[in-house]
């Protein structure tokens, strides 16, 4: 039986992955660098040193990774001042879990400020007993540290926590951490590797809700 649910945010709760992807080219251009194909996919779901390492892998060890990411996140802060689109089924899933008394947390590689603003813009903060942001852990997804911290904050065992993710790095983190991991694909395709890692795949948050109601998760 599921004790708690850990929600990724970008691409899972909110339709923001396309927005994040659009920030790379202008942020890089300020430092005279072109966008390289595949960067957005490689960076998706990561933060901190993991994300800096992705940048260095694409642009060399001497690239100004810290400065680029600073500009990248400045753009995000500005863009996310306004409400971003919610993913279909989010309201229904949150309301049902709340009615069942299932504790929930947001576990995202985004900054705490961005997470809180997205939640506050839609009045969703009251649903979540905990928030784990990218700054709170030393190792970001695909390392399971952020999900393990989320489970700890909710007082739940990883094996009885449902992790909802759209990114490959997030699914890897959930699987490595021993969580019941469900992939709800957004921009990233379902690969054979993912099929070997996740507990289940759902086409939407509505399908997650249906499976929960049916006792299939």
pLDDT by 10s per residue, the chain, length 217 = 899 999 999 999 999 888 888 889 999 999 999 999 989 888 887 878 888 999 999 999 999 999 998 998 888 888 888 899 999 999 999 999 999 999 999 999 888 988 999 999 999 999 999 999 988 998 889 999 999 999 999 999 999 999 999 999 999 999 999 999 999 999 888 999 999 999 999 999 999 999 999 999 9
- The domain of 40 spans 17-79
Based on the fold, state whether residues 126 and 205 are members of the same structural domain: yes
First to last CA, the chain: 8
CATH number of the domain residue 115 falls in: 3.40.50.1000
Give the total number of structural domains in the chain. 2
Based on the fold, state whether residues 58 and 108 are members of the same structural domain: no
Distances (CA, A) of 53 to 48, 145, 185: 9, 17, 25
Mapped onto helix, strand or coil, the DSSP state of residue 1 is coil
Based on the fold, state whether residues 206 and 118 are members of the same structural domain: yes
Q: What is the pLDDT of residues 147-169, one digit of tens each?
A: 999 999 999 999 999 999 999 99
- Among residues 31, 58, 79, the one where a domain terminates is 79
- Burial (CB < 10 A; 0-12, 13-18, 19+), residue 37, is exposed
Tokens of 127: 């649903």
């Amino acid at each position: 039986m599921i004790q708690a649910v850990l929600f990724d945010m970008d691409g899972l709760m909110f339709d923001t992955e396309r927005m994040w992807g659009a920030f790379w080219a202008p942020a890089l251009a300020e430092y005279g660098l072109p966008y390289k194909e595949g960067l957005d996919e490689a960076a998706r779901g990561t933060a901190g040193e993991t994300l800096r390492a992705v940048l260095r892998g694409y642009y060399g060890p001497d690239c100004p990774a810290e400065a680029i990411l600073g500009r990248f996140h400045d753009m995000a802060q500005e863009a996310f001042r306004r409400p971003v689109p919610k993913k279909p089924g989010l309201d229904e899933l949150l309301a049902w879990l709340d009615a069942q008394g299932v504790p929930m947390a947001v576990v995202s590689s985004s900054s705490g400020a961005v997470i809180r603003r997205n939640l506050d813009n839609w009045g969703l903060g009251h649903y979540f007993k905990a928030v784990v942001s990218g700054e709170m852990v030393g190792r970001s997804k695909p390392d399971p540290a952020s999900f393990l911290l989320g489970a700890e904050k909710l007082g739940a065992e990883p094996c009885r926590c449902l992790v909802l993710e759209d990114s490959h790095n997030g699914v890897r983190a959930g699987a490595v951490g021993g969580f019941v991991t469900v992939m709800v694909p957004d921009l990233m395709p379902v690969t054979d590797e993912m099929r070997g890692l996740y507990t289940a795949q759902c086409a939407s948050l509505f399908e997650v809700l249906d499976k929960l109601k049916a006792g299939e998760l």
